[in-house]
Amino acid sequence: MSSKRQRKKIGGEHLQRIIDLCTSIEEKGLDPFLVDVEDILEVVREYFPEWELPEELSLDAETIHRLASIIKLQSDWLKHRSTSLYTDPFLIEEKIRKLTKVELANLFLEVWHPIVEFEQISPHSLTEAIKYWQGLLPIDERWLQTGPQKREAGTVTREELIKQKILAENTFSEDLEAFWDELKEKVGANEKILYWDFVGANSYNETIQRAYLTSFLITYGYATLEIDRLEEEMFIKPYEKPVSMLGKKQVVSIPVSISNEEWMKWKRGLQN
């Protein structure tokens, strides 16, 4: 019994050393061929029948995972070697050491094609800047020290806090659930609804608020976005139950512009 425990201990240490070796090769960018994959697989295979506990099996899985990363590095290395970009790093280093600064700079200039770009302030942003500047208090006024005012401690009710807009009447999740119900109701039997038809409201402020809540509906898996790239249309599709996308597929962010112009356009379209 004790010999089995001893063997398990040695095996565990062995696997941990393999993991450390693979990690350091990966992190420090060392030659991946320092690892003899076949030898390591033999070790992993040898100890595998010993593992019973979840943490032991997890260590075994971690070793295989690290080894897979090393195999990928070896494959990348071979691919790179077969491309025209491959040159022996020692040869390059030797050349760099031998060439003078001027020679190095001159040859670099032959292959350097810098990006051309303009940075220019527009009349609009200039006007905004002037407005800001004119409204700005002199620095000595802004830096005026105002001593803390003494106040007596007192009590306040929840209703008063709601009135002062310090506390919200409903919690955010309650608001979100209500909004989700509204979406399901609006969609009805159609499965989905045009983004703007759902988000758009009578006022621009309300539209922004609805777009904000919609983004949470999608992020938290209450609904999803469907984009028809051909028609350049975007739909919202509610789920029956919230779906968590974490770890299931790659999550992407989709920026949606809710400018005043876009809202006016939508509103005009509604009126026509």
Number of residues this chain uses to bind another protein (CB under 8 A): 40
Q: Footprint of another protein on residues 67-96 (CB under 8 A)? A: 76-77, 80, 84-85, 87-89, 91-93, 95-96
Q: Are 44 and 63 in contact (CB under 8 A)?
A: yes
Q: Print the binding letters for residues 183-202 with another protein: x by CB under 8 A, - otherwise.
A: --------------------
- Should residue 116 be labelled a site residue for another protein when binding is judged by CB under 8 A? yes
H/E segment holding residue 223: strand 223-228
Q: Binder to another protein among 1, 3, 4, 27 (CB under 8 A)? A: 27
Q: Which of 53, 115, 251, 254 binds another protein (CB under 8 A)?
A: 115
Of 41, 57, 105, 167, the one binding another protein (CB under 8 A) is 105
Amino acid at 214: T
Decide if 209 contacts 193 (C-beta within 8 A).
Answer: no
Instruction: Identify residues 28-57 at the interface with another protein (CB under 8 A).
Output: 28-29
Stated as kind and residue range, the H or E segment containing 238 is strand 233-238
DSSP 250: -
What residues contact 162, with CB distance under 8 A and at least 6 apart? 168, 169
Residue that is written with structure tokens 């006007």 in the block: 127
> Rounded distance, CA 227 to CA 206, Å?
24
- Asked if 112 interacts with another protein (CB under 8 A), we say yes
Amino acid symbol at 167: L
98 versus 248: smaller Cβ distance to another protein: 98
Q: Which listed residue (4, 45, 101, 268) binds another protein by CB under 8 A?
A: 101
Residue ranges that bind another protein, judged by CB under 8 A = 27-29, 76-77, 80, 84-85, 87-89, 91-93, 95-120
